[in-house]
Amino acid sequence: MPSIKYQIAIPNPLKHQFKISIDISPVANEALTISLPNWIPGSYMIRDFAKHVVALEAHDKDSKLDVNALSKNRFEVKHNNQPFTVTYLYYAFDLSVRKAYLDQEFGFFNPAAALFCVDQQVEHECEVELIKPESELCQNWLPASGLDGINHDDCFAWSNYKANNYIHLTDFPIMFGQLDIESFDVAGVPHYLVTAGKHFGSLQRAAKDLAPLCQYHIDTFGELPSDVNKYLFLTMVTDKGFGGLEHLNSTALVCSRFDIAPDKEPSPLTNDDYITFLSLCSHEYLHTWNVKRLKPREFIPYSLESEVYTKQLWFYEGMTSYFDDLSLVKTNTISYEKYLEIFAKTLTRIEKGKGQLRQSVTESSMHTWTKFYQQDEAAPDQITSYYQKGAAIACLTDLMIKQNTEHKFNLTAAMKQAWQKFGRNNKGTTQDDLENLFKQFLSEPQFELFKHALYGSTKIDLTDALANCGVALKYVTQDNQKHVQGANTTAISKPWLGTLLAVENESIVVKQVLEDSPAEQAGIAKGDEIIAINNMKVNMANVEQLISVCEQSDACIHYFRKDTLYRSSLPKQPSPEFVAQLVIQDPLLIKTWLSDQ
């Protein structure tokens, strides 16, 4: 089988275009088509990557070949039964982990978004040549990826690399730039924290904090997958932005310049931005097992042409979301108090809006393509996050397993078993496989509760489970959150508006209106510009104060919509108690949950 050879070049970073060429050897007399994926694994949305392809051409040694579009992402190349080369430009100006980006500071490239698949040769080995750019703007640039080198093992060389086949190739994002690289060993395998873009932190410190998190996950599953001979955290540092995407032996990350902390951070950590960055790294690293290798059977093999439906993202994202922050406290990277503060925020997000009463986590997983990944202003009242509610279910399951097995096992044991039964052998899971696996660890009533959590559109109540671990859970109003220190403070519910507001062009603009809130009853909608409450001009600071001080049962509100001034009556209602608070009640008992001893 001849290999397919890809060349990736950067002619001029200011034009935000990668120049790609693909050498293909066709089988004589066989029609040949090339196609680009329409989505990238880990991000469940149709993205139509082919729209960024420019000047697609094909040539053999004798002539230019006809290239005919068959659909939005597939082209037929009329070849002459001899090797030919496809060339094109790929427009790269998406500063996310999903597509490609290029400017004078750095470049990033997802093969799934930008490299064509040769449809008749999907199993052929792929070679990738990274061409050193000649532009002065790219002096001192290096590439970085998890690809295996051809006759070398340098992951930062302008050189040739290989992948087993096209789908394998799509799992190796490549970053380019003047890179900061910090290496550290975990379980005898080299790990690299790599950044492109100006930052003010210490990679040495970050590597020191990352190593125990990686080790924690390796211990959870009992081993690093055998094909992981290196691991790279490829981090694009920007002015603002946050996100990550998991891959086979690397993760692509975006963070802001201040997320990576300087060396002098205290231990345990208190810097929230840096904690969030480490949690993201931990999350993506855990995906090395959970979803990259242990994965829904529907994803074996990946079909990147159109949507692939699974109910199982509550497991693959929910469990991962639970363990990302939990790993920080279990490794003593953060204190118990900080962990409870972070987990309480997760619980609060679930409670905001009526979404959890309308959609189960399994439904949310099925409809992720159109709902979770395409959220609009009504999302809090209409959809459930399989990340957040999935994490709450993971916590409930963890604590139920502990209780049922008298602390002999916890959720880690179930994850390890899932890996051994369905992951390391690339078997994949069905929803039934996962349910049967948890059934072994739970009592019958606990299993019923677990199933109800997966399929029911109801609240997850963690109060009793957490109380058994010495933690009190209570819900307070948004206003009380600012004042309540202990669990026993009397709540005072002030009137509220029930909106998400933002300042735009010095106006107060509505971004979201919660269902049944006073704002909804007053007819307020997304995009409205709020002018006054009780004839007093509003600003971000006084909005809810103005409702509180109104002596009538209703306040009056003025707002603009489509340049028209409206006035309506705003009912005074107490704010609901949706802000979760977790308070340690028994400092010894909490260790049974948050320490591994």
Residues 401-420 that bind Zn ion (CB under 5 A): none
Binding mask 320-359 for Zn ion (x = CB under 5 A): x---------------------------------------
> Cβ of residue 418: shortest distance to Zn ion, in angstroms?
16
Instruction: Tell me whether residue 182 or residue 317 sits nearer to Zn ion (CB atom).
Output: 317
Instruction: Tell me whether residue 165 or residue 320 sits nearer to Zn ion (CB atom).
Output: 320
C-alpha torsion sign, points 236, 241, 242, 246 = negative
- Sequence-distant (6+) residues with CB within 8 A of 427 are 297, 421
> Cβ of residue 246: shortest distance to Zn ion, in angstroms?
6
Max Cα-Cα span within the chain: 86
Instruction: Tell me whether residue 110 or residue 320 sits nearer to Zn ion (CB atom).
Output: 320
> Cβ of residue 48: shortest distance to Zn ion, in angstroms?
22
Instruction: Tell me whether residue 320 or residue 429 sits nearer to Zn ion (CB atom).
Output: 320
Instruction: Tell me whether residue 172 or residue 387 sits nearer to Zn ion (CB atom).
Output: 387
Instruction: Tell me whether residue 286 or residue 469 sits nearer to Zn ion (CB atom).
Output: 286
Q: How far apart are CA 474 and CA 484, in angstroms?
A: 11
> Cβ of residue 387: shortest distance to Zn ion, in angstroms?
7
Binding residues for Zn ion, how many (CB under 5 A)?
Answer: 2
Residue 499's Cβ-side half-sphere holds a number of Cα atoms within 13 Å equal to: 24
Q: How far apart are CA 163 and CA 156, in angstroms?
A: 16
Token pair belonging to 320: 């991962």
Residues 302-321 that bind Zn ion (CB under 5 A): 317, 320
What φ, ψ does residue 560 adopt, rounded to 5°?
A: -100, 135
Instruction: Tell me whether residue 317 or residue 544 sits nearer to Zn ion (CB atom).
Output: 317
Residue 479's Cβ-side half-sphere holds a number of Cα atoms within 13 Å equal to: 17
201 with 265: CB under 8 angstroms? no
Instruction: Tell me whether residue 169 or residue 391 sits nearer to Zn ion (CB atom).
Output: 391
Binding mask 71-100 for Zn ion (x = CB under 5 A): ------------------------------
> Cβ of residue 245: shortest distance to Zn ion, in angstroms?
8
Least Cα distance to 238 among 101, 127, 339, 342 occurs for 101
Strands 74-78 and 84-91: unpaired
Binding mask 454-493 for Zn ion (x = CB under 5 A): ----------------------------------------
Contacts 24+ apart (CB under 8 A), 481-488: 481/579, 481/581, 484/581, 486/583, 487/581, 487/583, 487/585
> Cβ of residue 97: shortest distance to Zn ion, in angstroms?
11
Q: How far apart are CA 126 and CA 110, in angstroms?
A: 15
Helix (H) or strand (E) holding 592, with range, is helix 591-594
What φ, ψ does residue 11 adopt, rounded to 5°?
A: -70, -45
Instruction: Tell me whether residue 319 or residue 334 sits nearer to Zn ion (CB atom).
Output: 319
Strands 231-238 and 180-186: unpaired
Interface residues toward Zn ion, by CB under 5 A = 317, 320
